[in-house]
Structure 1
């Protein structure tokens, strides 16, 4: 079992990274995963009609993206441990922009799915390297606070994403949503060029790239890291079942307009931002594992409310919507604490550890979104049952972490 060590960096560099500029950049990088999908969610029904595809096929654009995102992180993590954070980050953002352009030019659903995978391979660099940069600079408790702050700020992206997507759709075609993502990639690359490398040469892997990839073997034997990965994966399965299925549920089943759906989706993101603020203030008074476990129980309760409304066969739109918003909001208590705990369980190969956590998270999301597409029957039931099952599995992993003995943590 590895022990937590504080990142080794000098005070001037630390102060530089605590500046507003890097906070904004990290928020943008960590927001790549959500903005890449949330922006086009209101357009899914119109895209299905335009491309001549079914609901289930178009939902594969979400699971295909998550497939590329999961696999991409396994590559970018070790590469950033060996060659530093900045150059791989620039390469990833460039690939993201190319993939988004390919989506805009797609003429059928399968082209769209393919380009979404390319887009995800690039976007994965932003998230995995962004999280590794946080661990480069901060120890566990501070890293959890920083991640909560970043998630609160980056919550603006998915909060506004569906609303902005609906507005683009109102005045133009769905293709312009992807051209907007190309522009976001170009702006981000300029920010990366301006920032300072967080992993200096004397802290990089001395051996070849193969040795960097070999860290995965060590990580897979780290039981605490694997349990944190389990928390993220099980949690994400429910969240992305919601992401993939919610536009069809609210727009086609409940007959909401794309604008109204954007507001419903935004309610959940606002909840995440609020929960992250609460999490930031409670860390120190309670252990991060305790806060994470609390979030998983609240999440299960919300999921049961959603399933109950669906099983009752009643309208219950308001209760259904509130239950989903609370379910999504618990990412604010679960996500930052799980990532910080996982990264704190290693002292070497931080990039590959971040990649493994990301692989579990978005791999779980891929499973959840694929299942909701495969089981789609025109009702909210498949989405609701996946949400509840994922909540139970998340509690199992979080409870094991909370009560297992671990000499590498000073928390109670």
Structure 2
């Protein structure tokens, strides 16, 4: 009887763990899904609404950046679940607003609103992992989440391409509203992970003080900037690729999703192996090697584009090499940063704010320097991947 009971307990524990991983992975994928699913529709939206579709991504990232700084301290005070519930409802309302929008300006407004809810997903998923796991375990868990959540960027563009083949781009946002409601219901399955001893006071002053303390923490900021610079480069591709692939190389928007999804398969594979690499090698060594390899890939891409010798296949290969290394860089640098602090909610908010806010830089640079070629995307990726590499290769000396 005791053996059967123990087996049932283990089975229940394993089931609960799998459900926990799936829900957190879905929450972390919210940002990618909210943008990637309508990437194939961006050229169509720009033409139909006579505006810069890139700015709808910019609006989302602005809202995403600001909102996290608000939700972070709140989650350190009242826990992780309540902000998640509120965030999902806000996301649903914003998605409906986008679906009903009739101009680029209206979509930008509702994308900002949508982001205020969406940001709670990835931010609080990271915080919950930090609540429950140690440094190396957290990095392994984040690699697992990245591997599972990578399904969204694969499915998103493919699904978006098929939707606009049969319906209009408005249907994409109706679908996002439905997904938001499903995520709202799934949160009931999540436990509250914030330890009582880590509950922080909630006030504007304490929140500002927490962020000031975090930004003075050299090691925390070093790892945080590593992720931030990498994502400026990554968003350079994410936002620029629809125009490069569809407009410049003439790829059909229905097939764009396959090319985009190929990169995410690389992320999944590298994330899988990163879990084992972390048990054999130090996090700093993995970051040095992965950021250097990513930089070499973007340099090769930039030189080929500048020389006018970049074929579609060459772009696909070099971007694949760069993007796949996200499976090491994002998970490892984030876990290392969070290990340096105690206020996981505020720290995760600051990391996410800078990480996803970095896309604002990419979208604005692409808007300003767009010339109808892959060159702006290529040099943005190379420049900021170098900055990413520099944060881990050139560690500042500690002051006495």
Q: TM-score, normalised by structure 1?
A: 0.91
**What's 2:323 paired with?**
328
Q: Equivalent of 1:181, from 176, 180, 183?
A: 176
- Deviation (angstroms), 1:309: 2.2
Q: Does the 8 Å contact 2:165/2:254 carry over to 1?
A: no
Residues of 2 paired with 1:381 and 1:129: CA distance? 36
Query: Partner residue of 1:352?
Result: 346
1:364 to 358, 376, 400: 358
Which consecutive residues of structure 1, in runs of 5 or more, have no partner in the other structure? 1-11, 407-412
**1:50 maps to what in 2?**
48
Cα 1:327/1:83, change in 2 over 3 Å: same
SS at match of 1:256: coil
Segments of 5+ residues of structure 2 without an aligned counterpart are 1-9
Shift of 1:308: 2.1
Match of 1:3 in 2: none
Is 1:400 the counterpart of 2:398 in the alignment? no
Moved more, 202-211 or 174-183: 202-211
CA deviations over 1:177-213 (Å, ceiling 9, x no partner): 1111101100000011232111144431246464244
Say whether the 8 Å CA contact 2:302–2:378 is kept in structure 1: yes
The number of residues matched between the two structures is 390
Q: What value does the CA root-mean-square deviation take over the aligned residues? A: 2.0
Q: Which residue of 2 aligns with 1:8?
A: none
Runs (4+) off by over 2 Å: 15-18, 200-203, 206-214, 403-406
Deviation of residue 405 (structure 1)?
6.5
Alignment of 1:261-280 (within 5 A): 261-280=256-275
Deviations 1:123-182 (A, max 9, x none): 111111111000000000000000000000000000111001111111111101111110
Q: 1:302 aligns with which of 297, 302, 305?
A: 297
Distance in 2, matches of 1:368 and 1:18, equals 39
Structure 1 distance, partners of 2:139, 2:253, is: 35
Q: 2:163 — aligned with what?
A: 168
Structural mapping, 1:10-409, within 5 Å: 19-53=17-51, 57-206=52-201, 208=203, 210-314=205-309, 316-347=311-342, 349-401=343-395
What SS does structure 2 have at the residue aligned with 1:314?
coil
Query: d(CA) in 2 for partners of 1:248 and 1:72?
Result: 29
Question: Structure 1 CA distance, aligned partners of 2:86 and 2:203?
Answer: 20
CA distance in 2, matches of 1:132, 1:254: 41
